[in-house]
Amino acid sequence: MSKVYFMGIDTGTNSSKGVLIDDQGNVVAQYSTKHEMTNPAPGHYEHDAQKDWWGDFCLISNNLIAQSGVDPKDIKALGTSALGADCLPVDEDCKPLRKAILYGIDARATDEIEQLTKMYGQEQIKKWYGRPLCSSDVMPKILWIKNKEPEVYAKTYKFVTASTYLTAKLTGRYVVDRFLGLASFNPLYGVDRKPVEEYCKPICRPDQLAEILEATDIAGYVTSKASKETGLAEGTPVLTGTDDSGAEAISVGVVSPGKMMIQIGSSVYMILGTAKLIDDERLWREEFIVPGLCDISAGTNTAGSLTKWYRDNLFPDALAKEKKENIDAYQAMMEGVERIAPGSDGLITLPYWAGERTPINDPKAKGILFGLNLSHSRAHLYRSALEGIAFSISQQLQLMQAHDVKIDRIFITGGGTLNEVWMQILADVLGITISSPMINIGASFGDALMAASAIKYPGFETYDELLKFIKPGKTYVPDLEKHAIYKKYQVIYDKLYELNKELMHEVDAISTGI
């Protein structure tokens, strides 16, 4: 039995997951736990950082150690990741001063986006981001706290993301990785990775920002206090960590141009490795975790969160069956879906239940069920929702392909991959073969691989070497006849937002009273 292990723990929107691997890349133990995302006001989405982030982390680490029977001293390094581009103000003891404001799904800072855009001008914003300022950026979230909660702002020692918070709780050091820091906090950090006083001044003090390191740099070591709470050995090396999507991309081998991940969790996040930065204001681009590799990325706000909405509001019987007969509610919801024709007999869903990120960057966008008639059943509505998310992915993939970038492999990850009918729908809509990885644990597996790489353990020293631990599992080949049908519906889907944008904004103004 191995005496060398690496732990990875990831905190996501609705759950946290952890894994322990040995020095051959084998999974020794895994554990997950759920938490709730709160929605205290329209467009506001939050987590309780102490309970949902740190509480989950301690629960998972203790369970991984107990489940595996591994001596904590044999865990040679720990990698962490967490939902990125969120904003949490903490005091000098790393105590949260309010609930964490979540990533791009939280659209509260629309006034601040407008304020900053007027302050700097559209051209300057585009030079920084390659696109307009949006709800996925941290700068307007900090400004929102400054404008709306001055008493919290005045007490803030640091403004952190989830990965920074967890690493600080473990080591006492406030760090953020280059990938997340330069992309999400842009332009508060300069190319030298130091806070830019000129740009920070209207937002926050430079010392209120975390230090930028590489994701695989050792940020510090587990403290005595953290050891007691997590079960980890005092002195265990802790990586800087990164955001969950970046770690998940590493877990499926996005380490070179042409490798792509489509992460289907509560939302959709897509990352394509590219040789250079590519500007398209409808998409995002960053310098990726892997040094020298760039990426194009995109995000659909609702995926699992939309299927959860359907479960909770339209399938109470499926929930009841889950509680009574232990049959998964989502499995029960698929009854009859596979028998419905592609296009759901003329029903198209625009899945903007929580506004939308790319490609429209519109927090006021609304969901649409288009083409309803009396012949449509509940199963039609649900299939159309699954197709709508697939149409959104396809729309964004087409924008990427328009830049003449190569795509030689697509891995699909996340909880959505458990629904094989949905994944086949996605392949049919895209017209491209897609695969789930053999080890489909997600970001926490990427965290564990990076932990081994960080200490240069033999066989894990470079990102390229990690590829030997990543193999395809289930593969979905598109049905080209169905793809031809979906292409016709895609044309209509692509038009729906522009044709209804003004009406969406009018409805938003009436419903919010603004």
pLDDT tens readout for residues 354-376: 999 999 989 899 999 999 999 99
Least confident of 109-113, 125-129, 370-374: 125-129
The domain of 99 spans: 5-246
Mean pLDDT for the stretch of residues 41-60: 97
Please, what is the end-to-end C-alpha distance for the chain in angstroms?
Answer: 64
Is residue 102 in some structural domain? yes
Mean per-residue pLDDT over the chain, rounded = 96
Structure confidence by residue, pLDDT tens digits, 293-343: 999 999 999 999 999 999 999 999 999 999 999 999 999 999 999 999 999
Alpha helices in 410-472 (DSSP H): 420-430, 443-454
Q: How far apart are CA 294 and CA 315, in angstroms?
A: 42
pLDDT the model gives residue 512: 85
Give the pair of three-digit tokens for residue 130: 């390659």
Q: How far apart are CA 247 and CA 448, in angstroms?
A: 9
Give the CA distances from residue 488 to residues 126, 225, 343, 385, 429, in Å, rounded to whole numbers and listed in that order.
Answer: 33, 59, 9, 17, 10
Q: What are phi and psi of 64, to 5 degrees?
A: -65, -40
Structure confidence by residue, pLDDT tens digits, 255-268: 999 999 999 998 99
pLDDT the model gives residue 457: 97
Helices (H) and strands (E) in the chain, counts: 17, 23
Residues pairing with 434 in the sheet: 476
Residue 120, SS3?
A: helix
Torsion sign across C-alpha atoms 321, 326, 330, 335: negative
Q: How far apart are CA 265 and CA 253, in angstroms?
A: 18
Q: Is the pLDDT of residue 249 over 70?
A: yes
Is residue 335 in some structural domain? no
Report DSSP state, residue 356.
Answer: B
Spatial CA neighbour of 41 closest among 363, 320, 458: 363
Give the pair of three-digit tokens for residue 244: 């969950």
Give the CA distances from residue 95 to residues 82, 164, 165, in Å, rounded to whole numbers and listed in that order.
Answer: 18, 13, 9
Structure confidence by residue, pLDDT tens digits, 184-208: 999 999 989 999 999 999 999 999 9
* Beta-strand relationship, 434-437 and 472-476: antiparallel
Single pTM value for the model: 0.88
Is residue 401 in some structural domain? no
Higher pLDDT among residues 126 and 486, named by residue: 486
Residue 314, SS3?
A: helix
pLDDT the model gives residue 2: 66
Q: Provide the pLDDT confidence category of residue 276 given band limits of 50, 70 and 90.
A: very high
Is residue 91 in some structural domain? yes
Is residue 136 in some structural domain? yes
Q: Report the run of H or E that residue 27 belongs to, with start and end.
A: strand 27-34
Is 348:394 a contact under the CB 8 Å cutoff? no
Give the CA distances from residue 510 to residues 146, 504, 513, 514, in Å, rounded to whole numbers and listed in that order.
Answer: 27, 10, 5, 7
Residue 402, SS3?
A: coil
pLDDT the model gives residue 221: 98
Give the pair of three-digit tokens for residue 427: 């392949």
Q: What is the 3-state secondary structure (H, E, C) of 231-244?
A: CCCCCCEEECCEEH
Q: Provide the pLDDT confidence category of residue 60 given band limits of 50, 70 and 90.
A: very high
The owner of tokens 């760039």 is: 294
Is residue 85 in some structural domain? yes
Structure confidence by residue, pLDDT tens digits, 435-492: 999 999 999 999 999 999 999 999 999 999 999 999 999 999 999 999 999 999 999 9
Q: Provide the pLDDT confidence category of residue 140 given band limits of 50, 70 and 90.
A: very high
Mean pLDDT for the stretch of residues 406-432: 96
Alpha carbon 231 to its chain centroid, in Å, reads 27
The domain total for the chain is: 1
Q: How far apart are CA 417 and CA 438, in angstroms?
A: 12
Question: Residue 110 belongs to a domain with what CATH number?
Answer: 3.30.420.40
